[in-house]
Amino acid sequence: MSDRMERNLFKYIWSHSKRQQVWILCIVALSMPTYFLAFDIPKLIVNGPIQGKGFETPDATQSVLPISIGNPFGDGSLTLFEGFELDRMNALIALSMAFLGYVVVNGMFKLYINTYKGRLGERMLRRLRYQLVDRVLRFPFPQYRRVRSSEIATMIKDEVDPLGGFIGEAFATPAFLVGQALSALIFIMLQSWVLGMVTLGILVLQTGLIPKLRVRLRQLALQRQLTARDLSGRVSEIVDGATDIRLNDGTNFERSDIADRLARIFFIRFDFYQWKFMVKFINNFLAQFTPFVFYLGGGILAIRGSLDIGQLVAVIAAYKDLPGPVKELIDWDYQRLDVQVKYLQVVNAFDVTPLAPAISQEVKSENVKSLVGPIAFHQVSATDESGKSLITGLDLSIGLHEEVAALGATGDGAEVVGELIARLISPSAGTINIGATALAAIPEWHTGRRIGYVGAEPFFAHGTARDALLSGLRHAPFRPAPEGKGMTPLIVREAKASGNPVLDRHASWIDYAAAGATNDQDLADRITWVLRIVSLEEDFYAFGLRTKLADDTEGESEEMFLNARRIFLERLTKDDNAADVEPFDVTRFNSQMTIFQNLVFGAVASTELLPNEIPSDSPLWKTLEAGGLDSKLYALGREASAVIVDLFGEVSDNMKILERLDLIDPTKLTEYSAALGKTDGVDFAAVANADRQRFIRVALSYSEPRHRLDLLDDDLRQAVVDSRITFRENLPPELASEFSFHDADQINPFASLQDNILFGRIVDGRAGAVDRISALLREILEELDLSYAVLERGLKYEIGSGGRRLSLSQRQQLGLARVLLRRPEFLIVNRGLNALDNRTVEKVVQSILEIAHSESEKFGVLWITSTETQASMFDRVLKFSRGELVSDEAVK
């Protein structure tokens, strides 16, 4: 099958649905007789049984419902069935029953035809959409840089949508309408040849002129579509680039750009409506012009006596049935052109060559065999899209199990070698082979499992970190879906009818064998292992420690974490590191926590209960009044605000510092300044509620080691500690469940795992305290066999779209981990860790080289870098300069 898309919509429809189209045509034809007969029956009922025509005597009978085929305009019909001889009452009943029968039959036909057409259209739409996405997956790599993702998405989602509705109508509707129009025209012709010719003439004019006028409409529709698609592309660019736009004060340019585009769209649309209604006017005029000719011309002929008045009346009556179908036919034709344009647009965007052949992406659920032989470059040159030479005349051979570094600054050609092997770019000259096979001929299902490539910007779909890691293992449905979750026969049948693949999404797609695992436990071990190699284990471990215990406690008993807490306390004092942690003690003020945290002495269920978010009408404010705490906090908050406002001024250019302090919202400095002026020298009792709350919020967020304004005295510390109990007791019942207090013998579900085990806070400003405590924590969790449980919690971290909730270095590490997890035979890292500091990278390289050397794993590495110390860790170093390999040295 050719990989080009069919450019003619009708050919496309016909080639995928000819049997169904013929079938629907037959059904439409079959429905015609009853359709017309149903029109005839009311007349028969009124004229016959009701008005009594033919039933003049009481026992008169008539033949009812005869069936005959013949010339409707003349004599000599062929009678098939004489009809039933019935009296007046029975004839009424029979005819009425027949009417009801026709109604039911017609309804059934209509139901069947519409359902059939609808399903046909939906199947074709599904087929088309699937084909488009399938093509996207097979685009040549440079194409991905050329297209805007949102435009592709809009085309697949919205622009092909009207096609579905049209496809069902594509053949049946015009056939039906042409039939209707022709019969009316022939009838007029038979009545009066002259009037028939006039009608025909106007019809020809109408069907010729209107589509011509609509050409402009179509052009406008096309422009409308293109500009709208452009708009959606721009909007998504604004969303994606919002941070950069705002940080560079570019919002107003974006505003003007959008306004400009909207203006263009507006004028196109307005122009479109003007034309549309103009065409409508002309069309209606022509349709009404024909009766005008009949009245005037026919009238003159009739008065002169050359036309029978009966004939004229019959012609006018017959004409009634003509404009309807003709108008619908013109509309259908318009829709056809419109849909055809849309279809062509889509085809143009998706008919990209050369597509990767479908066979290259075949589903392979068996283990793929190893690659054989060295990667050999012979006189390879490559250019970028602008035609600039990237590399010239490269001769190179890299063994599949060799560890090689390619050294060179960006643009010197080192990265091109990696991109060529990964086939992200194709050579403009020369050949690349792996063993005896041309690299280009090796299918993607083979390279995608045996060759690993990590670039500097790995992409992750929305999901958890664990999903991101496993996304490199989803090669094929390896194990069937669990009972009752698989594809039903109906789903399979429909998939086949629409040319969709029968691949079960709910099957287990994880390639355990590729990860070197046989079960989930193995896989968990492998995940820990790769995270350790890329130095990411600690990060996810830390994520895990930060999760609230309430978030997910399945399979973990609270008792185990309590146990960890006890052991931690023992070791901490034994190792003489007790000063590193300030424990939670209900009788003492904890200086590592904010005043609010000290007051609550526990954790809150939602962020709405944090000092800056508490609603102004919350009953919590009331609880602060006990013991006059509110006035003390007010005084502290006011003083802190005064210092901040004095330091930063009303309009601060040091917003970042202020933001980091997390005490006052930088955008509200002026409000604070005004409030300070208003409350200057005013007694607390006389201060407005809003100002009280404003300053108390500041006080609640205050912590001495962090803000160092020297505002906390022992008196206030004691007052806060004393208020802990009253705070709990005075807590309004509706909020009671939102707080959970620290208790040495209980797990706190709203507090983080770390808070729960440490049962205290790491002391700020003691160098190495964080490392020491983390190590101790680690040791204990390891002993209690809780490490993986914590890591797994960390792996449930939602990394956001594209992994944006991770730092760039974490994304790069995760990208490398994903590839290592599937154990490639040859690993290419193309500046894949360039956001990390050198020491960490060297550590990672060291670990990778160790595994690469080991008998059990054994794989080759191509490490592309600009850093000499990294390159010097490899057996062989290729140096690149200005697109050429300048040295190829084995280092010993």
Partner 1 sequence: MSLEEDALLLAKVELFANVAPRRLKLLALASSRVLFAPGQDLCVEGDEGYEAFILISGEADVKIKTPSGVATVARLKRNDIVGEMAILRDMPRNATVTAASDVTTLRIGKQDFLNLMKEFPEVTVEVMRSLAERLARTTSELANARAAKA
Residues that bind partner 1 (CB under 8 A): 643, 646-648, 654, 656-657, 660-661, 705-710, 764-768, 837-839
Is residue 540 within 8 Å of residue 797, measured between CB atoms?
yes
Burial of 464 (0-12, 13-18, 19+ CB in 10 A): middle
- Cβ 594 to partner 1, closest distance in Å? 16
By beta-carbon proximity to partner 1, the closer residue of 490 and 767 is: 767
- Cβ 833 to partner 1, closest distance in Å? 13
- Cβ 843 to partner 1, closest distance in Å? 11
- From residue 4, alpha-carbon distances to 1, 195, 350 in Å are 9, 51, 9
Place of tokens 């001024």: 649
By beta-carbon proximity to partner 1, the closer residue of 424 and 643 is: 643
Residues in a beta bridge with 864? 406, 830
User: Residue 795 corresponds to which tokens in the numbers above?
Assistant: 């792996």
- Cβ 220 to partner 1, closest distance in Å? 53
By beta-carbon proximity to partner 1, the closer residue of 683 and 710 is: 710
By beta-carbon proximity to partner 1, the closer residue of 616 and 654 is: 654
Is residue 454 within 8 Å of residue 815, measured between CB atoms?
yes
By beta-carbon proximity to partner 1, the closer residue of 59 and 653 is: 653
- Cβ 656 to partner 1, closest distance in Å? 7
Is residue 606 classed as helix, strand or coil in its secondary structure? coil
Residues 6+ apart with CB under 8 A from 802: 459, 460, 462
Is residue 845 within 8 Å of residue 873, measured between CB atoms?
yes
- Cβ 595 to partner 1, closest distance in Å? 17
Place of tokens 């690149």: 880
By beta-carbon proximity to partner 1, the closer residue of 536 and 658 is: 658
- Cβ 657 to partner 1, closest distance in Å? 4
- Cβ 653 to partner 1, closest distance in Å? 8
- Cβ 874 to partner 1, closest distance in Å? 19
- From residue 449, alpha-carbon distances to 453, 517, 852 in Å are 10, 15, 17
**Strands 860-865 vs 826-830: parallel, antiparallel or unpaired:** parallel
By beta-carbon proximity to partner 1, the closer residue of 766 and 796 is: 766
Residues 6+ apart with CB under 8 A from 209: 282, 286
18-24 contacts: CB < 8 A, separation 24 or more? 20/116, 20/120, 21/120, 21/170, 21/171, 21/172, 23/116, 24/113, 24/116, 24/117, 24/120, 24/168, 24/171, 24/172
- Cβ 643 to partner 1, closest distance in Å? 8
Burial of 830 (0-12, 13-18, 19+ CB in 10 A): buried
By beta-carbon proximity to partner 1, the closer residue of 517 and 640 is: 640
- Cβ 129 to partner 1, closest distance in Å? 48
Residue in 360, 388, 457 with CA at minimum distance from that of residue 804: 457
Residue 77 CB coordination number (10 Å): 12
- Cβ 596 to partner 1, closest distance in Å? 21
How far apart (Å, rounded) are the C-alpha atoms in residues 328 and 408? 68
Instruction: Give CA angle at 635 (631, 636), nearest 5°.
Output: 120
What kind and span of H or E run contains 219? Answer: helix 193-247
Is residue 380 classed as helix, strand or coil in its secondary structure? strand
Place of tokens 């069936």: 67
How far apart (Å, rounded) are the C-alpha atoms in residues 720 and 726? 10
Angle between helix 808-821 and 520-533 (nearest 10): 130
First to last CA, the chain: 53
- Cβ 769 to partner 1, closest distance in Å? 9
Q: What does the DSSP 8-state code read for residue 195?
A: H
- Cβ 642 to partner 1, closest distance in Å? 13
What kind and span of H or E run contains 885? Answer: strand 884-890
